[in-house]
Amino acid sequence: MGDFSYTERDGHLFIVTINRPEVMNALHPPASAELSAAFDEFAADPDLWVAIVTGAGPRAFSAGNDLKYTASGGSRAEYPATGFGGLSTRFDLNKPLIAAVNGVAMGGGFEIALACDLIIAAENARFALPEVRVGLAALGGGVHRLPRTIGPKRALGMILTGRHVSAQEGYELGFVNEVVPEGEALSGARRWADEILAVSPMSVRASKQAVYLGLEQGGVAGAESIKYSAVAEMMASEDLIEGPKAFAEKRPPQWKGR
């Protein structure tokens, strides 16, 4: 257990919990550095295939940047190269991330969730990019990821007002994958993780990389024209042989992730 977070391994699953419930899991630079190290561990370990990110306690996923820490003269050391929460500028991770949003996800907390691939939200979850209300802007990826997720008009409706959005509205807008009962965000995320862990990890990584890098190309023709390293790794993997073989033999595949 670290000072500001803790991690859990469960087979091929890695769970990262932000552990500052006394400040609604708000983050300062030392906490982001610690989270960055946790996600470095996840990225580097071939036996870890899916990660879940959540917050400690029943009230908050993360309230975002710890403004009280900064105002009280806390260290203004730079955030890690991987950005806020160790995720906002981590663009090279092909393994899937699931946000289990158990309460408030505001500002940088929402940006951490948006940096994940799936968002599972409890009914009591609340989302916002309220930076405009305090003279700032959601520059931890929020102003870029949210419009690409739900479209510019709907995103600007949140970004320009800083308004709060419920889990259900988040689902209707399109940035929440599933709404689950209060207290069940982590169990809901685990269920999604189990579904991902049941399929080929090499295919999952190839698919994730192709989606995100493909979106950078501006069109389908451009996306189809480039080479994806994770696709090449998939094509050279043992799992590429195992999948069709298991299908032909009418048995569950035994994925190796390599």
The DSSP string of the chain is --SSEEEEEETTEEEEEE--GGGTT-B-HHHHHHHHHHHHHHHH-TT--EEEEEESSSSEEE--B-HHHHHTT---PPPPTT-GGGTTT-----S-EEEEE-SEEETHHHHHHHHSSEEEEETT-EEE-GGGGGT---TTTHHHHHHHHH-HHHHHHHHTT---EEHHHHHHHTS-SEEE-TT-HHHHHHHHHHHHHTS-HHHHHHHHHHHHHHHTTSSHHHHHHS--HHHHHHHTSHHHHHHHHHHHTTS-------
Q: Give this prediction's pTM.
A: 0.96
Whether the predicted pLDDT of 124 surpasses 90: yes
Whether the predicted pLDDT of 69 surpasses 90: no
Whether the predicted pLDDT of 74 surpasses 70: no
Q: In this structure, is the dihedral angle defined by the CA atoms of residues 8, 108, 172 and 209, taken in order, positive or negative?
A: negative
Task: Read off the pLDDT of each residue in 18-42 and give the average, rounded to a whole number.
Answer: 97
Active site residue 111: yes
What average pLDDT does the chain have?
96
Could you read off the pLDDT of 185-231 as tens digits, one per residue? 999 999 999 999 999 999 999 999 999 999 999 899 999 999 999 99
Q: Which residue has the higher pLDDT, 72 or 222?
A: 222
Active site residue 131: yes
> For residue 67, what pLDDT is reported?
81
Whether the predicted pLDDT of 76 surpasses 70: no
> For residue 109, what pLDDT is reported?
98
Whether the predicted pLDDT of 24 surpasses 70: yes
Which position among 131, 195, 233, 249 bears the catalytic label? Answer: 131
Model confidence band, residue 70 (pLDDT cutoffs 50, 70, 90):
confident
Whether the predicted pLDDT of 38 surpasses 90: yes
Model confidence band, residue 236 (pLDDT cutoffs 50, 70, 90):
very high
Percent of the chain with pLDDT over 90: 94
Which position among 22, 111, 182, 195 bears the catalytic label? Answer: 111
Phi-psi region of 100 (alpha: psi -120 to 50; beta: other; left: phi over 0): beta
